[in-house]
């Protein structure tokens, strides 16, 4: 519906902008109070700061060892993404290209696990993880994300591959290309749009995840960003000045990531939910 | 069991090579622990001891007859789910309608409405804890509105609504994105035909737009139901389950039973009940909205 820009549209626009401002007010509070002294926060949380105290940030940066936590989160997110993309794209392609009862049942098996809540597997997983020696280590956590990432990512690849024409693959096969080369050289590049979606969804989930890292990573130097920020909060519950600076440091990386990629992210979410 | 006729070992091998890795990680990380969980739910295992004693249905009996805290967490989670699903979809759909019209700032506004989704529930909970505790009282002092002057997180009723507000604030932008995608897929000819026939905007919305994009409602309801029912991070950091356990979600209850009370057997039994509840709720919902899709 390409409507003309009428008075009514203008009113709607103003309304939408007002809602957006209300939507952003929580961030205003956090930002403004993160550079205030503790006493100033208590007097009036809504007021503009009298002077900007960046010392809150310096203290928090050191206490939670921000570079370390950032690095841990980054390594975990990137490695998990690579693994999930590799294993699920391969599996989905093979399953789509080998039609039959077995592939169909296997697909249902994978996808139906999406209704298993994390709480249902976490207790035995910690026991099993202890036996396998994958607890309290970053590689162990990454391997767990491989497992948890399979159902949704495989589902998305599966849906997408069904729309990819098979002719090019067949031509390559006739030319003598083996299966791995067909997949990695010809099919995988064609899957780029859905790979972007898969990576975005998994990045937001893994970067922000709290409970699994909390259970798996016990050593302080392995902590991810959410763990570091929360440990800080638990210790200084009412120390709002430092707590808010910790929150700002915690949310800044993912907000920057979003602002750079927002078009892809919003498109990816939409195509990920409506196949 | 693959094919009884002629087994082509080369193709079986390539099937294993491609599907095997995903299947292996999936089995080890999700399915084996799930099956172990079913087993542990019939034991009195404490998580540490090497002796695992079989107790039959004892855990389940105890949960159903003598665990008021779990019962309350279940009631709370269900009530929360209903309110959270209603408001996040109402607001999300409203945003989608608003931003599907020809606003000049619509791309910017979509970005803004979506922002809360990129931040994890844990940090959002801390942010809002500050807003409820200090921010609201400041706004209350400025405006004199009693809405802002309540002890938001200290009172059972308002703590419940506090969680609903934050959940809706976080999720409605995500729902908006899905609804916008659905609205853009609508056939504009039908809408124009209805306009020419003199249908009001409201009629078009109720009788044409909503029935045509019912698949989007199915997805959004499914997502919000499962997200709201599994709420953990946001709940932990915003209210911690308080005051007096009144906002303790089922997920928190299971976590505490296992990792704080060290009753793994009982905790897994609760988690199996939780799994069944999630499976039943989501199946009923998908089934009932899907049925309507066909009729429309």
Cα(B79)–Cα(A54) distance, integer angstroms: 43
Tens of pLDDT along chain B (296 residues) come to 554 567 788 889 999 999 999 999 999 999 999 999 999 999 998 877 778 889 999 999 999 999 999 999 999 999 999 999 999 999 999 999 999 888 899 899 999 999 999 998 999 999 999 999 888 988 888 888 888 888 888 889 999 999 999 999 999 999 999 999 999 988 888 888 998 998 888 999 999 999 999 989 999 999 999 999 999 999 999 999 989 899 999 999 999 999 999 999 999 999 999 999 999 988 998 888 888 875 54
Q: Which fold has domain A66-272?
A: MetI-like fold (1.10.3720)
Strand partners, A63: none
Burial of residue A99 (CB within 10 Å: 0-12, 13-18, 19+) is exposed
Closest CB to B18 among A91, A147, A259: A91
The set of residues, in sequence order, having a beta carbon less than 8 Å from that of A204 and lying 6+ positions away, is A254, A265, B117, B118
Closest CB to B30 among A13, A44, A121: A121
Residue A212 pLDDT: 97
Strand partners, B43: B54
pLDDT tens track for A60-113: 999 889 999 999 999 999 999 999 999 999 999 999 999 999 999 999 999 999
Q: How many CB pairs under 8 A join A and B?
A: 274
Which DSSP symbol is given to A221?
Answer: G
Helix H or strand E encompassing B128: helix B121-130
Q: Which fold has domain B59-295?
A: MetI-like fold (1.10.3720)
pLDDT > 60? residue A235: no
Closest CB to A247 among B126, B135, B180: B126
pTM metric for this prediction: 0.92
- pLDDT confidence band for A7 (50 / 70 / 90): confident
| B135 in Cβ contact with A49 (< 8 Å) | no
pLDDT tens track for B60-75: 999 999 999 999 999 9
Higher per-residue confidence, A106 vs A6: A106
HSE at residue A135, side-chain half, CA atoms within 13 A, is: 15
Cα(B97)–Cα(A117) distance, integer angstroms: 32
Cα(A199)–Cα(A252) distance, integer angstroms: 19
**ipTM of the predicted structure?**
0.91
Taking the alpha carbons at both ends of chain A, their separation in whole angstroms is 23
HSE at residue A43, side-chain half, CA atoms within 13 A, is: 9
Burial of residue B109 (CB within 10 Å: 0-12, 13-18, 19+) is buried
CB-CB neighbors (< 8 A) of A271 in chain B: 181
B197 to A1, A8, B203, B204, B296: CA distances (angstroms):
16, 22, 11, 11, 20
User: Which chain B residue's Cα is nearest to A146?
Assistant: B25
| B269 in Cβ contact with B212 (< 8 Å) | no
A79 to A258, B20, B70: CA distances (angstroms):
19, 19, 38
Residue A275 pLDDT: 47
Which residue matches tokens 């979600």? B249
Residue B289 corresponds to which tokens in the numbers above? 């909205």
Residue A168 pLDDT: 87
| B140 in Cβ contact with B60 (< 8 Å) | no
CB contact under 8 A, A121 and B34: yes
DSSP alpha helix (H) spans, B144-247: 156-184, 188-196, 201-204, 210-212, 214-229, 233-238
Residue B48 pLDDT: 77
pLDDT tens track for B161-191: 999 999 999 999 999 999 999 999 888 888 8
């Amino acid at each position: 519906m390409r409507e003309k820009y009428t008075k009514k549209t203008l009113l709607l626009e103003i309304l939408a902008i007002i809602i957006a401002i209300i939507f952003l007010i929580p961030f205003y509070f956090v930002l403004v109070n993160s550079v205030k002294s503790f006493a100033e926060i208590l007097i009036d949380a809504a007021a503009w700061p009298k002077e900007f105290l960046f010392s809150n940030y310096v203290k928090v940066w050191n206490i939670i060892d921000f570079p370390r936590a950032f690095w841990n989160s980054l390594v975990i997110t990137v490695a998990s993404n690579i693994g999930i993309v590799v294993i699920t794209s391969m599996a989905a392609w093979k399953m789509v290209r080998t039609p039959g009862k077995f592939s169909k049942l296997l697909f249902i098996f994978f996808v139906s696990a999406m209704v298993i809540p994390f709480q249902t597997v976490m207790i035995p997983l910690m026991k099993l993880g202890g036996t396998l020696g994958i607890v309290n280590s970053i590689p162990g956590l990454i391997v767990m994300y491989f497992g948890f990432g399979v159902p949704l990512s495989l589902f998305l690849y599966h849906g997408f591959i069904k729309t990819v024409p098979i002719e090019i693959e067949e031509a390559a096969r006739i030319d003598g290309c083996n299966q791995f080369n067909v997949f990695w050289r010809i099919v995988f590049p064609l899957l780029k749009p859905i790979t972007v979606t898969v990576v975005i969804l998994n990045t937001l989930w893994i970067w922000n995840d709290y409970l699994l890292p909390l259970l798996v990573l016990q050593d302080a130097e392995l902590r991810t960003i959410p763990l570091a920020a929360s440990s800080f909060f638990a210790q200084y519950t009412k120390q709002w000045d430092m707590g808010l600076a910790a929150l700002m440091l915690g949310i800044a990386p993912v907000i920057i990531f979003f602002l750079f990629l927002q078009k892809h992210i919003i498109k990816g979410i939409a195509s990920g939910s409506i196949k | 069991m693959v094919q009884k006729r002629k087994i082509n070992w080369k193709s079986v091998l390539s099937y294993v090579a491609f599907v095997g890795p995903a299947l292996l990680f999936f089995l080890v990380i999700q399915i084996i622990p799930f099956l172990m969980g079913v087993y542990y739910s019939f034991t009195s295992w404490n998580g540490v001891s090497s002796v695992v004693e079989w107790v039959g249905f004892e855990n389940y009996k105890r949960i159903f007859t003598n665990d008021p805290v779990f019962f309350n967490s279940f009631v709370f989670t269900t009530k929360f789910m209903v309110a959270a699903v209603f408001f996040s979809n109402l607001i999300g759909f409203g945003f989608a309608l608003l931003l599907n019209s020809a606003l000049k700032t619509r791309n910017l506004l979509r970005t803004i409405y979506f922002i809360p989704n990129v931040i994890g529930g844990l940090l959002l909970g801390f942010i809002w804890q500050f807003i409820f505790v200090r921010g609201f009282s400041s706004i209350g002092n400025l405006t004199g509105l009693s809405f802002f002057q309540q002890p938001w997180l200290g009172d059972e009723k308002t703590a419940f609504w506090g969680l609903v507000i934050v959940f809706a604030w976080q999720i409605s932008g995500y729902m908006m994105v899905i609804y916008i995608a659905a609205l853009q897929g609508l056939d504009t000819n039908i809408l124009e035909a209805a306009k020419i026939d003199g249908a009001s905007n409201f009629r078009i919305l109720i009788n044409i737009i909503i029935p045509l994009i019912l698949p989007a409602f199915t997805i959004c309801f499914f997502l919000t139901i499962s997200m709201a029912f599994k709420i953990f991070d946001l709940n932990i950091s915003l209210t911690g389950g308080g005051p007096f356990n009144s906002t303790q979600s089922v997920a928190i209850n299971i976590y505490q039973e296992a990792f704080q009370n060290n009753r793994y057997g009982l905790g897994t039994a609760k988690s199996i009940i939780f799994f069944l509840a999630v499976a039943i709720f989501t199946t009923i919902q998908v089934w009932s909205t899907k049925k309507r899709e066909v009729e429309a």
